[in-house]
Amino acid sequence: MRLKEIQRTAHQAWSPASHHPIYLALGTSAQQLDASFNTTAALEIFEMDFADPSLDMKLKGSLPTTNRLHSIVWVNFGLGADGTGGRLVSGSENGAITVYNVEAILGSAADAVVGQSDKHTGPVRALDFNPFQSNLLASGANDSEIYIWDLNNFNNPMTPGAKSQPAEDISVVSWNRQVQHILASANPSGKAVVWDLRKNEPIIKISDHSNRMHCSGMLWHPEVATQLVLASEDDRMPVIQMWDLRFATSPLKVLENHTRGILSISWSQADPELLLSSAKDNRILCWNPNTGEVIYELPTINQWCFDVQWCPRNPALLSTASFDGKISVYSVMGGSLEGQQQSSVDKISSSFDNMDPFGMGQTLPPLQVPQPTAQTTIVPPLKKPPKWVRRPVGASFAFGGKLVTFENPPPAPAQSPQPVPRQVFVSQVTTETEFLQRSRELQAALQAGTFVHYCQAKIQSAPCDAEQDIWKFLMVNFEDEARVKFLRLLGFSKDELERKISKCLGKNFQPNGHGVDAKDLAEKMQLLSTERADEAGAVSDTGSTSPTDFFSQIPQDKPSFQIPISSDTDGLISQALLVGNFEGAVDLCLNDGRYAEAILLSISGGEELLKKTQQRYLETQKNSISMLISSVVTQNWRDIVQSCELDNWKEALAALLTYAHPEEFAPLCDTLGGRLETEGTEKRSLQACLCYICSGNLEKLVECWAAQRDCSSPLVLEDLVEKVMILRKSIERLRNSEVPLQSPTLAEKLTCYAGILAAEGSLATAMAYLPDDSHQVSGTGALVFSLHASRCLPTPLIRTHCKSYVLAGNVRTYCTSYVIVRAYIKGAGYNWCYQRNLYFSL
């Protein structure tokens, strides 16, 4: 397939492989004139822009030259850091060798010529640069002249040895591709000479006995150091000979197909099984030199092509220079020529004025350019796929964290009888080692029921206090007397407290009980309320310091007394008492601020009165402990959790643990947790989590935990799942029944968790975590879930899931349902129609 074309009668040189973009340098050919007999000469550099579908080459720089060329090479020497630039070296008809700085030509700078030598006495037809040391250049001219040039010191060339006799033109020089000090030269008479530059002499001469080889080309094998090919220009022997220096008596192989002399050859450096040749039979062939087979014939050439060259950078491209003055670039990968042919026809056609060029008053029909039929048909690519399209290695991921890899060992020597094993490896990729380890531990604990042990291990390995606290709380759930133990964890121990109280009362005995420490009072109040049925102070020992005695001491302070009956408060109280009007007496006491009397009296006045009195008393008290007392006495814990200072969360929780009824306990803990959570700090959130653990509220725990953390990381998610699963087990233990995982947040997190497990290859474990009601899962989790889960769930189960889901009216949004159902359908791989009906019934 032809890609680019330009009208030039020129020699060509591709930019080196490192050069991007790809350039092609063209220098006007010697001994060829175009139809205009133009004798000017120029060196031009074009860019090959293959993103541009037109055949045009973009001129990037040009330089008028004084000489016409016989040869040109683009040398790797002096490349810029980005691999661009370098040197162009040309050999001209008068024997001059000129070195150009590519950068300067591209930049139209004046000093483009950086070296020139007239050392050769005749036309320089042969040029090659050393592939290992790019500063070394070999040139060949008439009279057996061969020079080795050092671009670092251009003026003093060396010779590879004594001139071979008799003196002949040198038509080709070529450096060995494997051994850097080996050079070969060839001449039209058919002899090739191999020089060793270390010895400075020819080491072997190759000559065919037929004497008909007229060497127009010679190339070393790109990979085998001892092999080279010679191409013959002689019409009587239009062949390419392949020689091996190890058997240098006759050619190893002769490639015969051309019918007239071969003008040029080029060996692909990217694939040694691709050798190009152009001949005077107007054909350009591509050979597999190993088999001698012609694997490609370049179409559309109607002219001798005197130079053919593979592109070093893009191995599928080659350029041709033909005697009809065209430089063309082709791809050997085949393809249609139709599109581009059409455009060239249009171009030719439109270059004439169709309207009325001869002034005859009539429009001419469009120009019909005859199209050879071969050009419009499809050009097949190389018969043998080139090396550069054969992918040798691959790695592809598959479901469940599996990786499928293959690599092809370098081709074994052809003689090797052992067939190469062609293996594909299926591997398991696990990147979350710690995650998997922990999930295994969790799974083991869940299955074995060793929860306490698991929690203990967690407590020991906890990275911080907060984490440790949480695990301690979680563990308590599995023990008896959980509430007492919770209290202890919060820092409240009954025994410890009793000691403190005794101490306190012993040292600071105060009959007026106001203003003592809250716990102290709470204790007192508790005792009071538990013993309120007893007559206060019925039995007592003087001097006793026990709280009960404290109250019973009060009446004993007055050994004898009179009953006042005056009209003041005292009098009214005693009168009321005397007639048994407890209510009135209590009212009077309260009114006078005699709370103790009021309480005492109301105890005698019955339960109802006592309650009323307590209430009225508490209403009047506005100090810090009154709320607590109030709550303890009235059994109203809601007030505490709703209005205590958040710093007192521990105390509030302790109060709940001590007093709250089992049925009230959980909601109250949740309320407290909710308040802590709304503050939004990490500390509070952890405290809230503790509340939720006490209450056994899975959903809240998850929400609170997740709100503070980005649960997308596997380990963070693992942290959460561990807690949730353990808490769930403890609740199940308490309730003696299975706890469903109903919360959407939780379901989503578990789904995510299952997704990661699945991606790491733990499919069975992943399934264990899939929520039953996964249709409630929305968003990303759902997708990840469906991606994974649907692939490992057995089909009947999916059907059940799917059906139940479709039948369940409680879908959250259509969108979610769409994704999920789609996912299920996707995974199921069974009767699509049936599923589609279900699906559309949504």
Partner 1 sequence: MVSVINTVDTSHEDMIHDAQMDYYGTRLATCSSDRTVKIFDVRNGGQILVADLRGHEGPVWQVAWAHPMYGNILASCSYDRKVIVWKEENGSWDKMYEYTGHESSVNSVCWGPYDFGLILACGSSDGAISLLTFTGEQQWDVKKISNAHTIGCNAVSWAPAVVPGSLVDQPSGQKPNYVKRFVSGGCDNLVKLWKEEDGQWKEDQKLEAHSDWVRDVGWAPSIGLPTSTIASCSQDGRVFIWTCEDPTGNTWTPKLLHKFADVVWHVSWSITGNILAVSGGDNKVTLWKESMDGQWACISDVSKGQGAVSSITDTQQSEQ
Subset of residues 671 to 690 that bind partner 1, contact rule: CB under 8 A = none
Contact 310, 15 (CB under 8 A): no
Spatial separation of the C-alpha atoms in residues 6 and 39, rounded to whole Å: 18
Min dist. Cβ of residue 382 to partner 1 (A): 9
Residues with Cβ within 8 Å of residue 336, at least 6 apart in sequence: 1, 378, 379
Question: What's the rounded Cα separation, in Å, for the pair 696 and 728?
Answer: 8
Between residues 154 and 406, which has the closer beta carbon with respect to partner 1? 406
* Tokens 């030598």 -> residue: 117
Q: Which of 212, 500, 709, 791 binds partner 1 (CB under 8 A)?
A: 791
Query: Which lies closer to partner 1 via its Cβ, residue 303 or residue 336?
Result: 336
Q: Residue 540, CB half-sphere, CA atoms under 13 Å: how many?
A: 21
Closest CB to partner 1 among residues 26, 784: 784
Work out whether 389 is an interface residue with partner 1 (CB under 8 A). yes
Contact 173, 144 (CB under 8 A): no
Site string for partner 1, 353-382 (x = CB under 8 A): -------------------------xxxx-
Q: Which of residues 297-316 bind partner 1 (CB under 8 A)?
A: 313-314, 316
Query: Which one among 246, 390, 507, 622 touches partner 1, defined by CB under 8 A?
Result: 390
* Tokens representing residue 92 in the block: 């001209």
Whole-number minimum distance, CB 298 to partner 1, in Å?
15
Query: CB 400 → partner 1: shortest distance, Å?
Result: 5
Smallest distance, partner 1 to C-beta of residue 769, A: 16
Q: How far is CA 114 from CA 63, 85, 89, 93, 109, in A?
A: 13, 13, 10, 19, 12
Nearer to partner 1, 339 or 372 (CB): 339
Which CB sits closer to partner 1, 653 or 782?
A: 782
Structure tokens, 650: 């521990």
Q: Specify the residue, 65 or 314, whose C-beta has the smaller distance to partner 1.
A: 314
The type of residue at 174 is S
We find the least distance from the C-beta atom of residue 75 to partner 1, in angstroms, to be 21
CB atoms within 10 A of CB 303: 13
x/- map, 770-789, partner 1, by CB under 8 A: ---------xx-xxx--xx-
- Pick out residues in 4-23 that bind partner 1 (CB under 8 A): 20-21
Q: How far is the CB of 438 from partner 1 (least distance, A)?
A: 15
Least distance in angstroms from the C-beta of 43 to partner 1: 25
Q: Which is nearer to partner 1, 334 or 571 (CB)?
A: 334
Cα–Cα distance between 124 and 339 in angstroms, integer?
41
Quick one: which of 359, 370, 421, 559 contacts partner 1 (CB under 8 A)? 421
Asked if 50 interacts with partner 1 (CB under 8 A), we say yes
Binds partner 1 (CB under 8 A): choice among 52, 56, 256, 682: 52
CB of 20 or CB of 199, closer to partner 1: 20
In angstroms, give the least distance from the CB of 830 to partner 1.
9
Least distance from partner 1 to the Cβ atom of residue 443, Å: 19
Closer of 438 and 728 to partner 1 (Cβ)? 438
Measured CA distances, 564 to 561, 569, 576, 586, 652 (Å): 9, 9, 11, 16, 46
Residue whose entry in the numeric block shows the structure tokens 């990840």: 784
Per CB under 8 A, contacts with partner 1 among 718-777 are 755-756, 759
Shortest reach from residue 759's CB to partner 1, in Å: 5
Nearer to partner 1, 53 or 606 (CB): 53
Partners of 229 in the β-ladder? 219, 242
State the Cα–Cα distance between residues 430 and 365, nearest whole angstrom. Answer: 72
Which of positions 321-360 make contact with partner 1 (CB under 8 A)? Answer: 331, 333-336, 339
Residue whose entry in the numeric block shows the structure tokens 């171009």: 347
- Please count the CA atoms within 13 angstroms of the CA of 276 that sit on its side-chain side: 27
| Binding span for partner 1 by CB under 8 A among 129-137, 633-641, 731-739, 813-821 | 813-821
Residue 462's Cβ-count burial label (10 Å; 0-12, 13-18, 19+) is middle
Q: Which of 13, 255, 317, 640 binds partner 1 (CB under 8 A)?
A: 317
> Could you say which of 64, 80, 107, 394 contacts partner 1 (CB under 8 A)?
394
User: Could you tell me the smallest distance in angstroms from the CB atom of residue 409 to partner 1?
Assistant: 8
In this complex, which beta carbon is closest to partner 1, that of residue 109 or of residue 429?
429
Contact 205, 186 (CB under 8 A): no
Structure tokens at 124: 């320089």
By CB under 8 A, the count of residues binding partner 1 is 80
**Distance separating alpha carbons of residues 520 and 506, to the nearest angstrom:** 13
Angle at 642 between CA 636 and CA 645, to 5 degrees: 115
Q: Which is nearer to partner 1, 60 or 163 (CB)?
A: 60
Closest separation in Å from C-beta 827 to partner 1: 8
Q: Considering beta carbons, is residue 13 or 752 the nearer one to partner 1?
A: 752
394: amino acid identity, one letter: G
- Smallest gap from Cβ 73 to partner 1, in A, equals 22
Q: Give the phi and the psi of residue 392 in degrees, each rounded to 5.
A: -95, -10
Residues numbered 401 to 420 that lie near partner 1 (CB under 8 A) are: 401-408, 419
DSSP string, 304-342: -EEEEEE-SSSTTEEEEEETTTEEEEEETT-B--HHHHH
By C-alpha distance, which of 461, 394, 318 is closest to 1? 318
Q: Is 580 one of the binding residues for partner 1 (CB under 8 A)?
A: no
Q: Least distance from C-beta 748 to partner 1, angstroms?
A: 12
Which residue matches tokens 């199921």? Answer: 828
Residue 567: partners with Cβ closer than 8 Å, 6 or more residues away: none
Question: Residue 142 and residue 682: Cα distance in Å, rounded?
Answer: 89
Q: Within positions 184 to 223, which residues make up the interface with partner 1, using CB under 8 A?
A: none
* Contacts (CB under 8 A) with partner 1, residues 542-561: none
Type of residue found at 81: A
Count CB-CB contacts under 10 A for residue 231.
28
Name residues contacting partner 1, limited to 459-478 (CB under 8 A): none
Residue 94 burial class via C-beta count within 10 angstroms: exposed 0-12, middle 13-18, buried 19 and up? middle
CB of 697 to partner 1, least distance (A): 28
Read out DSSP for 259-308? SS-EEEEEE-SS-TT-EEEEETTS-EEEEETTTTEEEEEE----S-EEEE
Residue 593 as a binder of partner 1 (CB under 8 A): the answer is no
CB of 797 to partner 1, least distance (A): 14
User: Nearer Cβ to partner 1, position 405 or 591?
Assistant: 405
- Can you give the three-state secondary structure of 773-832, one letter per residue? CHHHCCHHHHHHHHHHHHHHCCHHHHHHHHHHHHHCCCCCCHHHHHHHHHHHHHHHCCCH
* Cβ 740 to partner 1 shortest distance, Å: 25
Q: Is 840 in the site for partner 1 (CB under 8 A)?
A: no
**For residues 423-462, which are near partner 1 according to CB under 8 A?**
423-431, 433
The residues with which 28 forms a beta bridge, in sequence order, are: 10
Pick out residues in 607-666 that bind partner 1 (CB under 8 A): none
- Binding part of the chain for partner 1, among 111-119, 244-252, 618-626, 812-820 by CB under 8 A, reads 812-820
Is the CA virtual torsion 752, 757, 763, 766 positive or negative? Answer: negative
